Amino acid sequence: MVGLGEFAAGVAWEPADWALTARDCIAGQCNSWAIIFAALPLLPSNLGKHVDEVFDYLKPGTLDNKAAREWYLAMEKSIKGAIDPNLSLEQQARLAFDLRNQIRTWARELMADRDEAARLMREEANLSWDQIIARAQAKGFSGDDIWRYIIEASQRSRESVNKLMGLEP
């Protein structure tokens, strides 16, 4: 059964929307709410009557921790489809990295538990581009393997958090 977070992610984030916004994300110009509204013309007409419910559901501070994590996992799964294989490996890595950071930040904005969201932003902040490259190098990666590592890491979440919330990745 699809959870409400996963349903909302599927409705709001169609793969075509990713393609339309990839260029902006590469340039660091991603805007979470603009991305959702860009998807509106792509929604099937039979979902139109549910759009208001989805947007009400996706307002900041409206998801419990489990629903926010479900949404995050669904979004994380869509990163692979958002990456244009015609881009250089470095550009693909940058896009995957930027999308993941945007998804993490947005998931935290959606959390109703504002204390936990603030703790995550403070104690588990998004890495910078330089930090993720340094992490890859510290793990022994070099050359194009750095970019492959970043692409793969952008699509991997911590099993321990998923298990704590009773979710399977």
Q: What is the DSSP string of 101-118?
A: HHHHHHHHHHBS-HHHHH
Given a contact cutoff of 8 angstroms between Cβ atoms, the answer to whether 60 and 113 are in contact is: no
What is the predicted pLDDT for the residue at 111?
93
Whole-model pTM above 0.75? no
pLDDT digits (tens, 9 = 90+) for 27-81: 555 555 444 544 444 444 444 444 455 555 578 898 999 999 988 888 888 888 8
Whether 117 has a pLDDT exceeding 90, the answer reads: yes
Show me where the domains of the chain are located: 4-164
Closest CA to 124 of 149, 89, 161: 161
To the nearest 10 degrees (0 to 180), the angle between helices 32-39 and 89-110 is 100
Question: Mean pLDDT, to the nearest integer, of 102-125?
Answer: 94
Highest mean pLDDT among 6-10, 82-86, 141-145: 141-145
Given a contact cutoff of 8 angstroms between Cβ atoms, the answer to whether 146 and 134 are in contact is: no
What is the predicted pLDDT for the residue at 149?
98
Neighbours of 71 (CB within 10 A): 27
Strand partners, 63: 111
